[in-house]
Structure 1
C-alpha cells in the first residue's frame, strides 16, 4: 500500500475550517456563561469539543510543516 499524499492546499483549507469551528464553539461557551443559570453539562461538552479542535489544529499544522517546511508559516 502506498502512502496517501495530501496537498498543502487541502491542509490549509482544513486548518481554516477547524479554526472557524473553534471560534464558533468559543462563542457558544461565552453565550452559555452569560446565561443566568449556565448548564454545566453543556459547558463541559463544548469545552471538550473545543479542546479536540485545538488538538486537530495542532496535528494539521504539524502535517503542513512536513509538507512544506520552508514555505509555510502558520500562527
Structure 2
C-alpha cells in the first residue's frame, strides 16, 4: 500500500517538475503559476520524505 502511494507521489512530483520546466521556458512565463507549482512540488516531496 505505502509503496503504491509513494510511487504515485513520485509520479506527481515528476509531473510538477515537468510543468515548472515548461512554464519557465515559455517566452513570457507566468511566475505566479511557477511559484504555485513549486509550492505543490515541495509539499509532495515533504509527504514522500514523511513516508520513508
Report the TM-score when normalising by structure 2: 0.97
For structure 1, the residue ranges without an aligned partner over 5 or more in a row are: 1-9, 62-75
Q: How many residues align?
A: 52
Hey, which of these two has a bigger chunk of helix by percent?
A: 2
Larger relative contact order, structure 1 or 2 (CA cutoff 8 Å, min sep 6): 2
Q: SS where residue 37 of structure 1 aligns?
A: coil
TM-score between both structures, scaled by the size of structure 1: 0.68
Matched residue, 2:14: 23
Runs of 4+ in 1 over 2 A off after TM superposition: none
Larger Rg: 1
Give 5+ residue unaligned stretches, structure 2.
none
